[in-house]
Amino acid sequence: MLSSCRVTTILPVVDAERAHDFYSRVLGLKDLGKTGDGKYLFEANGSLIALLPKPEPTKADHTALSFEVPDAGAAVADLSARGAQFEDYDLPGLKTVNKVCVLGSERAAWFKDTEGNILCIHQALPT
């Protein structure tokens, strides 16, 4: 029933203006404006992202959003130049080289938005 519906990911933000700037300027997402209930709405290739103002931060230890890109290394370079700060990992089974790691059938890199939400870029590898 829901397979033909557009999905909106809702992310909590404490400072909506700061987050709005990050998602529009740094990530370069299409800004659809502010909704009547105060959320900022963005579009990325048909998917919607809503930034929901909250008085307190929401702590999540998992990836909230992942963007599929054609070249993870190039995306890291581009987003880093725009102000994104990618994480480095050196854990058993997860080691980044130049901010990117290989996880099975994809290359991935992680960064946080201004509100602490964990975002990812990933590139599918040929199988």
Each residue of 43-58: pLDDT tens digit? 999 999 999 999 988 8
| pTM attached to this predicted model | 0.92
State residue 1's pLDDT score: 83
- Average pLDDT over every residue of 87-116: 94
State residue 124's pLDDT score: 96
Domain ranges, residue 96: 63-124
Mean pLDDT of all residues belonging to the chain:
94
Q: Is residue 98 part of a domain?
A: yes
Beta bridge partners of 63: 118
Interior CA angle at 104 toward 98 and 49, to 5°? 75
State residue 122's pLDDT score: 97
Q: 22-31: long-range contacts at Cβ-Cβ below 8 A with a sequence spacing of 24 or more?
A: 22/83, 22/113, 22/114, 23/49, 23/51, 23/113, 25/82, 25/83, 26/79, 26/82, 26/83, 26/84, 27/79, 27/82, 27/84, 28/82
Same domain, yes or no: 119 and 67: yes
The number of distinct structural domains making up the chain is: 2
CATH code for the domain in which residue 35 is found = 3.10.180.10
Share of the chain above pLDDT 70, in %: 100
